[in-house]
Structure 1
Amino acid sequence: MATLTGALALAAVAAAPLAQAQGTIRIGELNSYKTVPAFLGPYKKGMELAIEQINAAGGVNGKRLELVTRDDNANPGDAVRAAQELLQRDKVDVLCGTFLSNIGLAVADFAGHNKTFFLASEPLTDKIVWADGNPYTYRLRSSTYMQVAMLIPAAVKMHKQRWALVYPNYEYGQSAAATFKRLLKQAQPDVQFVAEQAAPLGKIEAGNVVQALADAKPQALFNALFAGDLAKFVRAGTQRNFFQGLDAVSMLTGEPEYLDPLGAETPTGWVVTGYPWYAIHTPEHDKFLQAYQARYKDYPRLGSVVGYNTIQSLAAGIRKAGSTQTDALVQAFKNLPVDTPFGRIVYRGIDHQSTMGEYVGRLAVKDGKGIMTDIEYVDGAKLQPSDEQVRKWRPASAG
């Protein structure tokens, strides 16, 4: 009898972790935390806030959410290994995350080959949902095409013929530059692209880049640099008076992660995409802002919103699917509505791209700090190419 009792006790102990696991939904997330801390620190806080709120409200389908994160070292090979670890060792139910576009593409390819659901939260490259799209990958953040399309109306209104471009020399920057040239040429056929500088990510020689652009005597500038590269470029351009009289449109520069460090050196007048959290007054955003500030005693960055929306999207999809089973999630995310601090977004069935938009405005300096003025929220749903064009760009096998 003692032997039987002991065996039953051991069985009960062994079953306990399984029962506990069955009561949770494990979200596996990987990202370049060490490489891009300015964006991904707030991003992680946004995820944690969403999980706390959802769990406090009873979880999803009666189960609590649990977040398991890994650093991908900004390396595609390491990212794929991290994804494998999350699935095989950590037994996560879904994958999400990534920041750099080349990393996002690597994990999306892994998800496609392994038939695993993956929500790409941040990488911007169009290839994720178009040329390299697969049935198992969805993307939250507005794409390179969408962000460039937000800036084209302002670029056209500048009525400048001679444009220069500067961007980081990897997938995101290359895609942004190519899209800008294509869309502006369509809108303004007489435009000329007189200079183009593709700087190594994180290793820009800003003085040389500014001089090469200045030598071409452009009338306007398209910029896709961010983080430390942006700060170095702005400082070098300011010191050389390169920006005086030069119109500019710039991706990402209005995001607090990249705008705040510029301080008084902020180049005024640039038309940018970004996140002016201090100037958004909607019920949805006010609710998010108050909760975030109460939780962290800090203001949110755009990364905070992206992280928050990532978890809210997964929760909505799992709730609709009734499970974390891959095929059910893939179907549930098609035309899935999600309420966010920016209002309701929808994950398009045709290309798995969300309609999350961005704020567009002009840069100014106030009290020694860079801010966005004349802001307007541009709904991502209004920036999509036609369904016919999407079908040409996205493989039929991608669903």
Structure 2
Amino acid sequence: MTIPRFASAFRSRRAALATGAAAALGILMSAMPAAAQDKPIKVGMTTDLTGIAAAYARSQVNGVQLAIDQLNASGGLLGRKLELLVRDSQLKPDLGTSHTRDLITRENVDFLIGPDGSAVGMTVSAVAKQYKKVVMMTIPNTPRLTTETFHPYVFTVVPSGLMEARAMAEAIGPGNKRIAFIGGDYEAAHQGLKYFKDWLAKVNPSAQVVGEAWPKLGEPDYSSYITSLMSSKPDVIFSYLWGADLIGFVKQGKPYGVFDKTKVASLVFLDDMKALGSEMPDGLIAQMRAPFFAIEGDRMTKFVEQYRAKYNDYPADWAIMGYEGLQILAQSIKQANSLESDAIVKAVEQVKYDGLRGPISFRAIDHQGTVGSYIGTVTKSDKYPFKTLTHVKYVPAEKIWPTPAEIEQARAAVK
């Protein structure tokens, strides 16, 4: 009688152990999807934290990070937190290529945002195309991104250089016939002048460009360029300088009386206004992409408060566009309920984002966002510790972006 009872007890214990092991395995298996969900959604950014655009890039990173922090605080995306991985391309296209490829192949980022300079933007876009990763451009604005080298995975929340040049040609006005130009000797500036001339012939056909100056990026001495421009006796000097180059031109131009003797129209950003302070010339015709002080509405007011609370600073154009670009991608991912690139593309193409600058959507033909250009006149501000703009006019994207026929023509020319 003892032996059968022992055998029965052994069998019972073995069954219990098997049941326990199966239960443990079941727990482990059920935990695996949750563990996968704990992995962050990785956002890759190649941008130019070194060089004359460094302040722009830092502001851009801040705007993107603020958007990520807010999303994470509300639960993240698809049940997962977001993580930003940043690489410094130093305004060098080759670094833009290698860093972006590394972010995709080694870091396994889910999508890309940025970068800063247009030349780097071209290389980032090329890598994104190769690996079929969605990239949201928030600063580069060479028209080639949406025309000649366009691919389905690139989107932009920046008015292109073509759009800005057209807006500036209209802003300068028919009363100014002699226009001189100064711009850094790089792709975006050369394209900017071309598109400016083309549009000027349409809106002010009696005007002509009477002088051109092409200093290298980072030029320390503008004296020869200033004297050459002034000798052409312009009604207006159109500047395509920015950052440290614009600051150098303004400071060196004042002793020559440039801003007293002629009008000057230029790309201007908050970083420039803060850096120049009281030296920023009153009356300068300034073109901006996202001047927070000129955009009304509760969304912008709240954003400025949040940005200042986190960074103790005012948001520059770059911070605003970076923030909007990330939020648009987040809204699209939620809509697609997927991180698969083609699904995100379809969702962004259909998105209607109520942004800081107003409603933003994207054209199917070029993925250009419906973002226009702000142009006003520099004046002293009683509210802010830097000069701002008065009489600001918003030129909508639909008025200045290229027609579908122009886009197809540009693409056909490079085939």
2:308 pairs with 1:293: yes
| In 1, Cα distance between equivalents of 2:83 and 2:301 | 26
**Partner residue of 1:54 out of 58, 68, 71:** 71
Residue in 1 that maps onto 2:206 = 190
What do you get for the CA RMSD once the two structures are aligned? 2.7
Tell whether the 8 Å contact from 2:166 to 2:200 is kept in structure 1 after alignment: no
Q: Which amino acid aligns with 1:59?
A: G
**376-385 or 39-48, which moves further after superposition?**
376-385
Tell whether the 8 Å contact from 1:170 to 1:201 is kept in structure 2 after alignment: yes
2:148 pairs with 1:148: no
Q: Deviations over 1:301-326 (max 9, x none)?
A: 11210221121021022122221212
Question: Which structure has the larger Rg over C-alpha atoms?
Answer: 2
Any residues of structure 2 matched to 1:226-245 within 5 Å, and which?
Answer: 226-245=242-261
Runs of 4+ residues deviating >4 angstroms: 15-18, 20-23, 395-398
| In 1, Cα distance between equivalents of 2:77 and 2:398 | 27
Any residues of structure 2 matched to 1:218-229 within 5 Å, and which?
Answer: 218-229=234-245
**Partner residue of 2:119 out of 102, 105, 109:** 102
Aligned pair count reads: 389
**275-284 or 67-76, which moves further after superposition?**
275-284
2:285 pairs with 1:268: no
Q: Which amino acid aligns with 1:19?
A: A
**Partner residue of 1:337 out of 352, 357, 360:** 352
Residue in 1 that maps onto 2:10 = none
| In 2, Cα distance between equivalents of 1:64 and 1:221 | 49
Q: Which amino acid aligns with 1:45?
A: N
Tell whether the 8 Å contact from 2:63 to 2:321 is kept in structure 1 after alignment: yes
Give 1:20 deviation, angstroms.
4.5
Tell whether the 8 Å contact from 1:151 to 1:271 is kept in structure 2 after alignment: no
2:41 pairs with 1:41: no
Tell whether the 8 Å contact from 2:281 to 2:378 is kept in structure 1 after alignment: yes
Q: Which amino acid aligns with 1:244?
A: D
2:44 pairs with 1:31: no
**Partner residue of 1:68 out of 85, 99, 108:** 85
Any residues of structure 2 matched to 1:276-355 within 5 Å, and which?
Answer: 276-355=291-370
| In 1, Cα distance between equivalents of 2:299 and 2:414 | 37
| In 2, Cα distance between equivalents of 1:129 and 1:136 | 11
Unmatched 5+ residue regions in structure 1?
none
2:279 pairs with 1:257: no
Unmatched 5+ residue regions in structure 2?
1-16
Give 1:227 deviation, angstroms.
0.8
Tell whether the 8 Å contact from 1:364 to 1:370 is kept in structure 2 after alignment: yes
**380-389 or 68-77, which moves further after superposition?**
380-389
2:177 pairs with 1:161: yes
| In 1, Cα distance between equivalents of 2:34 and 2:191 | 45
| In 2, Cα distance between equivalents of 1:98 and 1:382 | 26
Tell whether the 8 Å contact from 2:129 to 2:153 is kept in structure 1 after alignment: yes
Give 1:390 deviation, angstroms.
2.3
Tell whether the 8 Å contact from 1:262 to 1:370 is kept in structure 2 after alignment: no
| In 2, Cα distance between equivalents of 1:396 and 1:22 | 48
Tell whether the 8 Å contact from 1:132 to 1:395 is kept in structure 2 after alignment: no
Q: Deviations over 1:64-91 (max 9, x none)?
A: 2221111112111111110111111111
| In 2, Cα distance between equivalents of 1:392 and 1:229 | 34
| In 2, Cα distance between equivalents of 1:281 and 1:168 | 33
Residue in 1 that maps onto 2:3 = none
Q: Which amino acid aligns with 2:339?
A: T
| In 2, Cα distance between equivalents of 1:39 and 1:265 | 20
Residue in 1 that maps onto 2:105 = 88
Q: Which has the higher strand share?
A: 1
Determine helix, strand or coil for the equivalent of 2:345: helix
The 3 A distance-change label for structure 1 pair 44 and 131 is: same
Q: Structure 2 length as normaliser, TM-score?
A: 0.86
Q: Which amino acid aligns with 2:124?
A: V
Q: Which amino acid aligns with 1:296?
A: Y
2:229 pairs with 1:213: yes
Give 1:279 deviation, angstroms.
4.2
Question: Percent of pairs identical after alignment?
Answer: 29
| In 2, Cα distance between equivalents of 1:396 and 1:156 | 32
Tell whether the 8 Å contact from 1:130 to 1:394 is kept in structure 2 after alignment: yes
Residue in 2 that maps onto 1:247 = 263
